[in-house]
Amino acid sequence: MVQVFIGLGSNLGDRAYYLHRALVEIANSRQIIMKRYSSVYETEPVGKKEQPRFLNMAAELESTLLPQDLLQRLKEIENTLGRTHAEHWGPREIDLDILYYGDEVFNGEKLQLPHPEIANRRFVLVPMNELAGEFLDPMQRLSMKELLRRCSDTRTVRKISLPIDLQVKV
């Protein structure tokens, strides 16, 4: 089993519903064990500014799937939940990204590990810091806490309380 961290985000439709359904689908996937997940944060969009705010969170998993197979499973979940691929950095129903796959470093066409933008994104670092503040980025050899401290991203990341129960059996 490999420790994996993923990022989840949604800014179209019922954002909380999409996060909840994604967590349930991940938790019910073969060869994946849901360990825990962060609080939910409302965040400003990156790139295209004229779009709704996102709900973002992070989750810690354990998996026996290879990174490419895990990515394929996450894309299947996105498709099951109705994700439409309209534009780069545009609005989306659900977005599931592998942030870390153990301490693996990989640079492929469809998958880069660790995710290349982590250190530049507060919407990733804040929930990661909540989950695993001492986790070391294998490229920079800095903890999530230190990466967050050094992050130059000034976009708002605000912890929110949701009207629905996001509890998933772990």
Mean pLDDT of 160-169: 68
Buried b (16+ CB within 10 A) or exposed e, 130-164: bbbeebebeeeeebbebbbeebebeeebeeeeeee
Catalytic status, residue 92: yes
**Within-domain flag for 40:** yes
167 part of a folded domain: no
**pLDDT over 80 (residue 167):** no
Q: Rounded to whole angstroms, how far apart are CA atoms 21 and 17?
A: 6
- Residue 31: inside a domain: yes
Task: Indicate which residue of 21, 73, 83, 122 is catalytic.
Answer: 83
Tally of domains in the chain: 1
Q: Is residue 168 part of a domain?
A: no
Instruction: Check 15, 21, 73, 92 and give the catalytic one.
Output: 92
Is residue 22 domain-resident?
yes
For 33-50, how does the pLDDT look when each residue is reduced to its tens digit (9 = 90+)? 999 999 999 999 987 778
Q: pLDDT for 131-140, tens place per residue?
A: 999 999 999 9
* Domain span including residue 36: 2-160
pTM of the model as a whole: 0.93
Which one-letter amino acid corresponds to residue 124? V
57-95 tens-digit pLDDT:
999 999 999 999 999 999 999 999 988 766 666 688 999
* Position with higher pLDDT, 167 vs 104: 104
Query: Rounded to 5 degrees, what angle do the CA atoms 145, 151, 154 make?
Result: 120
- Residue 155 bears catalytic tag: no
The answer to whether position 170 is within a domain reads no
Active-site residue, 95 included: yes
Q: Which of 15, 21, 73, 95 is catalytic?
A: 95
- CATH code, domain with 25: 3.30.70.560
In a domain, 166, yes or no: no
